[in-house]
Chains A and B, each alone.
Chain A
Amino acid sequence: MGKGKPFLEVLASAIHEDFRFPFLELFAFFYALGTFVFASFTVGLSSQITTNEAIAYSVTNSLIGGSLIVFILLILKNVAYGLGNELEKGIIQTYFSYPLRRRGILTAKLLSAIGVSLLLFLGIQISALYILAPDIVFPNLGTVILTYAANLSYPLLISAIMLLLTLKLRRGGMGLVVGIVLYVAINIASGIAFFVAVSTKSPLAFQILSVISPTYALQYHYGGLSGISDIFSVPWVPTLSEALLYTGASYVIVASLFVLAYVYFSRRLNL
């Protein structure tokens, strides 16, 4: 018997549970709402920015804003609540009676919980970009991809941490709380980093923050936030290479945490 079929069936079962009516419909609606209605093209970049790349970054970033919250909510629901519930109730034990390796089961669960959410997010975003700003975006595809990569890094970091916590505790409650706290904390931390950077004239706080959320490096590469950056002088203008490096580093951290989760699930998880 091939290994493909058990994997696909467990994946189908996981998608059936994670996106049962009305979750898929509801979240798709919120994604569309976040993308098309709450995208704010007025809150963009500093007035100093005029290059095509910066404009492409600004447009993409504006589109991402509202939908990213929906993406994080969906991940919170699927990883902490969904997987946590299945571990707590024993559905994962049931999956362990099927001829599929543990890593296959986790992959199926993660593809459903995060992969499908990401597909939904990107599907609606790409459609929006194609409809709203094809002339700006498509000539600057590299910038657009980098903007998505930088913006998605932190939500993926949150999901990796939630996953580890959920697996360790075999329930999702704590993972859910930590996920919400981390999401709120990054905004507070960026505020603190801004004032530390302005008052000490040192970019160190932003550099540290950019390792876990490289969107800040990209933001300051393209000139910082409009309004605030025009008033306060932030002593940091990272180059594109630096922004890429921060993005890469953040994904190394995310990947390491997911690998850790796989190792734990495959070799250590006692049920």
Chain B
Amino acid sequence: MSLIVAEGLSKRYGNVVAVDNLNLSLEEGSVTGLIGPNGAGKTTTIKMILGLLKPDRGVVKVFGQDPWDNTAIRSMVGVVYEKAFFPAHQKTLEYLRRVCRIFGVPESRAMEVLEVVNLQEASDREIRALSAGMLQKFAIAHALVHSPKLIVADEMTANLDPQARSELLEVVLRLNKDEKVAFLLSSHILPELSMVCDSVAIINRGKVWAFGKLTDLYEKYAVGIIRISTDSSYALEAEIRKKLSYVKESDSDIRGISVRVVEGKEDDLYEDVLKLAKNIKAKILGIETGSASLQELYRMAITAKESE
């Protein structure tokens, strides 16, 4: 069963198209990552899914229903926003108890969820006295109070230290495995998503550029990636793009270049890259093939789409 179905979603802010004919679905029990650059339309998409924004066009259904002002959906969905805000002058445990009463769950659940995020020691603290990281943890505890079937999180780990991040990812994995909670997670921190997600939607310029099971996307975009470590990655990549027609996709950062070539041309690439490097006096530090990271998958998918 699809928990979220978005079809042809579009949203404009004045002349800016934030989301353009976006299609997305999220299956029961899955952990789906929403990745894309700043301004890609991730937050707008999430807001439309949560019924905070009305789409200009298209349809979004959550648990088969329109999410706008829908109280039934709110009882089944937990929400973590990028910037979490709560009534500032209330104490954490006191406020979570209130949330328990709102959702009609036992008040003892308040302490349980604080323990889940390791925040029990701050139970007597006012919300305004929490640090940014603690506030984010509190937001996650707040989202767990009513044991939702789906948690939608926008940049959930943005304000957390590495230790807290890995703890939270463990919470995600545990809830998904033990309680079959589905997650829709948007994040810029791709290594994190690769640890927990089974599906990924790559969003760029308001559209879904690639969407599917991670294994399928690796198959499609990231098999046969060759990494070239060099001290002049941008210049060498420009040469490669200009002179090697059998290179299907390429992408570079300061440390090196990732390329995919037409099948059977791998050996040619080694020789040609060495020649091109020599011509522009670039130093080759290493060339290797291997499995791609989510970061590389993301960039190769973007490059592939842009060249279409």
User: B-contacting residues of A (Cβ < 8 Å)?
Assistant: 1, 3, 5-6, 9-10, 12-13, 16-17, 20, 89-91, 93-94, 96-102, 266, 268, 270-271
Contact = CB atoms under 8 A, between A and B. Distances in A.
B77 interface: yes
B224 interface: no
A102 B54 CA distance: 14
Interface of B: 47, 50-54, 69, 71-72, 74-75, 77-79, 81, 83-90, 95, 98-99, 101-104, 142-143
Contacts, number: 78
B85 A271 contact: no
Contacts of A10: 102
A17 B104 contact: no
Contact of A270 (B54, B83, B87, B98): B54
Contacts of B102: 5-6, 9-10, 98-100
B94 to A, nearest CB: 9
A78 B132 CA distance: 26
A193 B87 CA distance: 45
Contacts of A271: 47, 52-53
A139 B77 CA distance: 57
Given A1-B104, A16-B87, A97-B77, 18 more contacts: A1-B75, A9-B102, A12-B98, A17-B87, A20-B89, A90-B84, A93-B81, A96-B51, A97-B78, A97-B79, A97-B143, A98-B74, A98-B99, A99-B71, A100-B102, A101-B71, A270-B52, A271-B47
A90 B85 contact: yes
Given A90-B81, A93-B52, A270-B54, A99 B103 contact: yes
A100 B71 contact: yes
Contact of B90 (A16, A90, A100, A268): A16
| Residue among A3, A89, A98 with max Cβ neighbours from chain B (10 Å) | A98
Nearest to B88: A17
Nearest to A97: B79
A3 B51 CA distance: 19
Contact of A94 (B69, B77, B86): B86
A91 B81 CA distance: 11
Contacts of B83: 90
Contacts of A268: 54
A9 B99 CA distance: 8
B86 A266 contact: no
Nearest to A104: B71
A96 B86 CA distance: 12
A99 B101 CA distance: 11
A12 B90 CA distance: 11
